[in-house]
Amino acid sequence: MLPSHNRFPYSAIVERPVFDWPDGKRLAVHLCLNLEHFSYNEGLGISYSPGLPHPNTYNWAWREYGNRVGVWRIIELCNRLAIPLSVLLNSACYAHCPEVIAALRARGDEILGHGRTNSEHQNNFSEDDERKLIHAVRDAILEHEGRAPAGWLSPGVNPSNVTPDLLQEAGYSYLLDWPMDDQPVWLKTRKGRILSLPYPHEVNDIPAIALHDATAAQFADMIIDNFDEMLEQSEQQPLVYGISIHAFLVGQPYRMRHFRRAMEHITKHRDSIWLTTTGAIAKHFIDHVEPA
């Protein structure tokens, strides 16, 4: 036998119990906005200028464009199309760009934990330091939003071996670090269980655009094609379709034009889908589907 994480067994999606999303809907759709802040000239970050320390000036400013400009274009679009956002928040943004979080708070968007900054990955931490990180992010969100976050995505989607355990022990009810299914999956933890919610590995602007060189039009087509196919597939069983964006990528004007086209396509089907947040999806599943 190969080494295993021992958190969940194999399960074929065609052999699962049938359930519905609210109002008998079969496809739940969520849009995740990654709101991130980086240390200047140190730490981790995607580099468009290989060989230089990163985030260097060029890369730091590229990422900062999302906080200064791109995110506001995304908020404007989501306001016009009445699209809720699941905000994956670096807690450092509370000090860096509080105006952005205030605008998202005023919309009623869900705030999730996404580490302090994407300049660090918790997989490099000791267990005690990771526990302190998870608690610090939880406490910062509780202080500013009046409620603790229910969900978590690790910076860089790079959790440690004990991340699910630490999250469950800190009061989180779901995480987005395991992109292995189109339905939520219960994970075993050392003191109970935590829910894994589908988070997109491919319909995600970081791998699609920054790593695989997809054009703006190709990324929009990817969003649309994935939606149309999953809407058909959801006739067989309830599914979750997630889209993940970063304001410094999708918020570029030429990409916004194509992203708008994709989201207009999805919202035309509003009567056939549940367009909601990750937290609402997790809560419905937790309330209606018992761990196996």
Kindly report, residue by residue over 48-61, the tens digit of the pLDDT: 655 565 557 888 88
225, amino acid identity: D
Beta 151-152 vs 174-175: how paired, if at all? parallel
pLDDT in tens, 103-155: 999 999 999 999 999 888 888 899 999 999 999 999 999 999 999 999 999 99
Domains present along the chain, CATH in parentheses: 19-288 (3.20.20.370)
Percent of the chain surpassing pLDDT 90: 85
Distance between CA atoms of 170 and 180, rounded to whole angstroms?
A: 24
- Mean pLDDT value across residues 212-223: 97
Question: Residue range 152-163: average pLDDT?
Answer: 95
Mean pLDDT on 69-91 = 98
Confidence of residue 261 (pLDDT cuts 50, 70, 90): very high
Residue 45 has pLDDT above 70, yes or no: no
Contact yes or no for 202/243 (Cβ under 8 A): no
Q: For residue 47, name the pLDDT band (cuts at 50, 70, 90).
A: low
pLDDT of residue 50: 58
- 222 has pLDDT over 70: yes
Give yes or no for residue 35 having a pLDDT over 60: yes
Biggest CA–CA distance in the chain, Å, is 53
Long-range pairs for 119-122: beta carbons < 8 A, 24 or more residues apart: 119/38, 119/39, 119/42, 119/43, 119/44, 119/45, 119/55, 120/43, 120/44, 120/155, 121/44, 121/154, 121/155, 121/156, 121/158, 122/154, 122/155, 122/158, 122/159, 122/160, 122/163
pLDDT of 191 higher than 70: yes
CA 292, distance to chain mean position in Å, is 25
By the 8 A CB rule, do 86 and 279 touch? yes
pLDDT at 188 over 80: yes
What integer is the mean pLDDT of 226-245?
97
